[in-house]
Structure 1
């Protein structure tokens, strides 16, 4: 399930897009399919391996636009391994709630975004997130490495 509206994001063929916290790559795959030049970035190396394999499978199956390019790289959201003003578009979907220093991550996203670029950030819905925190010890970070460290509200 995609959590970003690509029509609003307005990713155009050939534009460079970062999928931060890509996980298994659902948003990166859609961007690649649409002709984006995609960098999928996550700290989880096994998931990045799977992303790379699926990018290759998309090319072999003819599911990637000819203008597209895709890569997967390991990186920390608070110290991104990219130069300033690199990306035309950035997606950070369902990742900010995992990052202890979300302000540092936001600063990094702005740093690597080109002037006039667009960022799409999504976080879990407040009510659903609250219920999950109450029902599962493994869901939140104090009891699970990589878990959620905060619940966002409408006003942040």
Structure 2
């Protein structure tokens, strides 16, 4: 399940793509296994960086789930690292994905500066964060939602986030919503927080999301597309590193 749209990244053979805060490798592996990219997927250098050794171990295991032809095997590596001090040289990354990460970071401006350091001039940045109003409902329904260790510590306003990105020299060119059908799931989780994930309304909706992920029927894909501009759980913003960005 990808939050970003890979077609918005001007990928070309030999490009280095960094998935910062990759978790279990959702976007890194999404590009690695991406059928629409064809043989291009095997001509990329993919790097996933995360602070969690457990998540990285899962990501490494998953990259062997579906054997690929030699021509489609990208260079892929998962590295443990701190997003505030990335283990990469200056101007070494062509495209950088930072999906659902900034809301966890106390000094996210420091992370944006580090992103600018490793991103090449003219490189593409894709950032996603939770949309403000669905997130506020989660915080209102259950305060513990954002009090768990490593949880969300802020709610981003889209306009202010875009200003912040521009202040760091990122020239924005596209945005969209994502995962509209997931917002009600998180509301249910918060509403029935003490009952846990196995409480039947939460479990039933989760099964629906898994079914939708694998089946991708026309009706739910159309509904998701229709609702994403307003209800999308995430907002996704794309930009290019301009000259003099810092």
Shift of 1:124: 0.7
Distance 1:152 1:40 in 2: 24
Matched, 1:153 2:157: yes
Matched, 1:45 2:47: no
| Higher alpha-carbon Rg | 2
**Residue 142 of structure 2: aligned partner:** 136
Q: Alpha-carbon deviations, 1:44-63, whole Å to 9, x = none?
A: 111100111112334xx117
Shift of 1:147: 0.4
1:104 to 98, 106, 110: 110
**Residue 30 of structure 2: aligned partner:** 30
Q: Which runs of 4+ in 1 moved over 3 A?
A: 63-67
Q: Is the 8 A contact 2:21 2:51 kept in 1?
A: yes
5+ residue gaps in structure 2? 34-40, 161-246
Matched, 1:55 2:63: yes
5+ residue gaps in structure 1? none
The CA RMSD over aligned residues, in Å, is: 1.7
**Residue 121 of structure 1: aligned partner:** 127
Q: Structure 1's 115 and 45: CA in aligned 2 closer, same or farther, altered over 3 A?
A: same
SS in 2 for 1:73: strand
Q: Structure 1's 46 and 65: CA in aligned 2 closer, same or farther, altered over 3 A?
A: farther
Shift of 1:139: 2.3
Q: Alpha-carbon deviations, 1:70-111, whole Å to 9, x = none?
A: 111111111111110111100001111011110000000010
Q: Is the 8 A contact 1:17 1:38 kept in 2?
A: yes
Q: Is the 8 A contact 1:38 1:69 kept in 2?
A: yes
**Structure with greater helix share of residues:** 2
> What is the count of residue pairs matched by the alignment?
152
Distance 1:67 1:74 in 2: 22
TM-score, normalised with respect to structure 2:
0.58
Matched, 1:18 2:18: yes
Q: Structure 1's 155 and 63: CA in aligned 2 closer, same or farther, altered over 3 A?
A: farther
Shift of 1:31: 1.9
Q: Is the 8 A contact 2:131 2:158 kept in 1?
A: no
